[in-house]
Amino acid sequence: MKMSNLFVQTLRDFPSDAEVMSHKLLVRAGYIRKLTNGIYNYLPLMQRVLTKVEKITREEMDKAGAQELLMPFVQPEELWRQSGRWEVYGKELMRLKDRHDRSMCLGPTHEEVITSVAREGIKSYKQLPVNLYQIQSKFRDEIRPRFGLLRGREFIMKDAYSFDADEKGLEISYQKMADAYKKIFERCGLETKMVQSDSGAIGGNVSHEFMVICDNENNAGENDVFYCEHCDYAANSNHAISNLPEAKTDGGYDKAEIIDTPDTATIEDLCKFLNIPPTIILKSLLYIADKKPVLALIRADKEVEETKLMNAVGANEIRIATSPEIEELMTEKGFDSVKGFIGPNGMEGIKIVADKTILDLKNFVVGINQKDKHMVGANFGTDVKLPEIIEDIRLVEAGEFCPQCGMPLKVQRGIEVGNIFQLGTKYSSKMNAVFTDADGVEKPFIMGCYGIGITRTAAAAVERHHDEYGIKWPKSIAPYLVTVVPVNTLDETQMKIANEIYEKLLSAGVEVVIDDRDERAGVKFKDADLIGFPFRITVGKTITEGFVEFKERSTGEMIKLTPDEAVAKIIDEAKNI
């Protein structure tokens, strides 16, 4: 490809709306252009990268025994009613009507469609196991599309679905996908951590995410990953558990009494006022889960993990209540209280979920729904009713101890590039997708589903591989492997040698660009670094001595080679991708 023909416009500056490096660089280097919020054009350079990520994905999926198909992007409401998700899938599901007033949606994922495909196509256990996958655009009306391709509204996903006759089969299918995913990301130049995760709205039991760990400086990672350096424990914060260090949990008060605690609406103020540690306080937090109030109780030095709480009450949406909502509830219950002073007593009719940390509390301090007052020396049973639901709803913190081996946990931010779920019969039972088993009995398929964000993976590669000058693509997914740069296009020898190198590489099947533009060398070098070609062969003045300059983008290393050596080296590199 001649640079003069390549459809690419690099920009001098980063786009003003971009927060993270992959977004900034992909726009500035001419890979993507925003069409509208969360929706991007993938320009020719980007399309080449995406095609490579897809090719790697296809190869590994096929090797793992999966078969590619392509399902419709537009789906009828009726199917989503069968699975029960039409009501529960929130606003991310883009719903629309066709000309006959029939209700449809844009596919955010394809469990419903694939289950209907299996329902029609698979009748007997003899046809199992099957794993079907597609690579396709998805649409999710994300509440906060951001970070360019990392969280778009329209994005490309590889989604696969496995069908097995029993749980054991599912475990095998699942493991195959876990292995394939590891290889896919490795081949894309990405080291990933496989972490335990919450199965969320998609349902099911066991699930893992593949995380690209990011340095915190850039904040592109939207997930906190807790992991142990001494064993293989790793989990998303929405699923992580830990052992806590010893703490004082007995308040030591000799009797329960209500005392004045003016201006102590925060735990910090209360601790200061009473001169106590937060570990002897029972914290009460009001949440709104699927529009209903839920009171969460936890030891006050710890935070609630909202996904865990949401799962504990079986809700689809959760958020902390606002001050007016708290006051409204207080009034409804006949209390004169505000945020900071609420507590579990007198909250009959409201779902109360307590974290396990409350079980250690003795003679503790608790809000009693009276402004500027608390009870001290409270105990469960006598002063406060022990809640019926006691589960782990606690957010893990770094330094707490690994649940597997007891060593301190670490935390890092991660970008989720893929995830795998053991769905079980969640969709097949609801949608009556059954097969006849060896014993002649009709059973629902045991399913798994497996996603990879193709566009997100490409963006994650930029997050991991860049410097202040631009992108440093891993060779396997670079749009072109090498650029040949004649320093002075008016110099006949330079142009001749550059063209010869270019032609030789082309005929060897190497993906190569020649920067034939009549531009200053500095401009060409800047563009080469920005676009991120893994190699640059510069033909300049030293050609009179028989040498070109060979530069590797990832290391910055520059060496002198003869033109033939440079060609041979690139052909060698191309072979080893």
Q: Which residues in this chain contact ligand ATP in the complex, by CB under 6 A?
A: 109, 140, 142, 151-152, 155, 157, 416-419, 451, 453, 455-456
Distance CA 167, CA 128 (A): 13
Of 354 and 477, nearer to ligand ATP (C-beta) is 477
- Give the nearest distance from C-beta 451 to ligand ATP in angstroms: 3
Where do we find the tokens 């090797």?
A: 63
Where do we find the tokens 């990672």?
A: 221
- Give the nearest distance from C-beta 569 to ligand ATP in angstroms: 35
Of 53 and 281, nearer to ligand ATP (C-beta) is 53
Q: Identify the DSSP state of 251.
A: -
* Position with the least CB separation from ligand ATP: 453
Of 138 and 536, nearer to ligand ATP (C-beta) is 138
Of 419 and 422, nearer to ligand ATP (C-beta) is 419
Determine which helix (DSSP H) or strand (DSSP E) holds 298, and give its type and residue range: strand 292-299
- Give the nearest distance from C-beta 244 to ligand ATP in angstroms: 27
- Give the nearest distance from C-beta 165 to ligand ATP in angstroms: 25
DSSP lists the bridge partners of residue 389 as 353
Of 220 and 497, nearer to ligand ATP (C-beta) is 220
- Give the nearest distance from C-beta 522 to ligand ATP in angstroms: 36
Tokens standing for 573?
């590199």
- Give the nearest distance from C-beta 106 to ligand ATP in angstroms: 13
* Residues 6 or more apart whose Cβ sits within 8 Å of residue 517: 3, 4, 489, 524
Of 185 and 535, nearer to ligand ATP (C-beta) is 185
Residue whose C-alpha is closest to residue 307's, from 227, 396, 218: 396
Q: Is the Cβ–Cβ distance between 539 and 514 less than 8 Å?
A: no
Q: How far is residue 16 from each of residues 11, 20, 33, 107, 338, measured CA to CA in Å?
A: 12, 11, 13, 31, 42
- Give the nearest distance from C-beta 417 to ligand ATP in angstroms: 5
DSSP lists the bridge partners of residue 210 as 194, 418
- Give the nearest distance from C-beta 72 to ligand ATP in angstroms: 18
In three-state form (DSSP H/G/I as H, E/B as E, the rest C), the secondary structure along 68-132 is: ECCCCCEEEHHHHHHHCHHHHCCCCCCEEECCCCCEEEECCCCHHHHHHHHHHHCCEHHHCCEEE
Q: How far is residue 249 from each of residues 246, 279, 379, 401, measured CA to CA in Å?
A: 9, 5, 12, 18
Distance CA 441, CA 526 (A): 67
- Give the nearest distance from C-beta 449 to ligand ATP in angstroms: 8
> How many residues can be counted in the chain?
577
Of 192 and 483, nearer to ligand ATP (C-beta) is 192
Of 237 and 455, nearer to ligand ATP (C-beta) is 455
Q: Is the peptide bond before 129 cis (omega within 30 degrees of 0)?
A: yes
Q: Is the Cβ–Cβ distance between 21 and 462 less than 8 Å?
A: yes
- Give the nearest distance from C-beta 555 to ligand ATP in angstroms: 29
Distance CA 171, CA 165 (A): 11
Of 284 and 419, nearer to ligand ATP (C-beta) is 419
Of 418 and 470, nearer to ligand ATP (C-beta) is 418
- Give the nearest distance from C-beta 109 to ligand ATP in angstroms: 6
Distance CA 26, CA 35 (A): 14
Phi, psi dihedral angles at 397 (to 5 degrees): -125, 150
Distance CA 50, CA 441 (A): 45
Distance CA 183, CA 239 (A): 25
Q: Centre a 10 Å sphere on the Cβ of residue 250 and count the other Cβ atoms it contains.
A: 12
Distance CA 234, CA 224 (A): 10
Of 112 and 416, nearer to ligand ATP (C-beta) is 416
Distance CA 309, CA 391 (A): 9
Of 451 and 474, nearer to ligand ATP (C-beta) is 451
Residue whose C-alpha is closest to residue 131's, from 179, 180, 164: 164
* Residues 6 or more apart whose Cβ sits within 8 Å of residue 76: 102, 103, 104
Of 400 and 416, nearer to ligand ATP (C-beta) is 416
Of 309 and 570, nearer to ligand ATP (C-beta) is 309
Distance CA 41, CA 409 (A): 41
- Reduced to 3 states (helix: H, G, I; strand: E, B; else coil), residue 492 is helix
Residue whose C-alpha is closest to residue 415's, from 220, 207, 265, 251: 220
Of 155 and 364, nearer to ligand ATP (C-beta) is 155
- Give the nearest distance from C-beta 12 to ligand ATP in angstroms: 28
- Give the nearest distance from C-beta 91 to ligand ATP in angstroms: 13
- Give the nearest distance from C-beta 38 to ligand ATP in angstroms: 8
- Give the nearest distance from C-beta 416 to ligand ATP in angstroms: 5
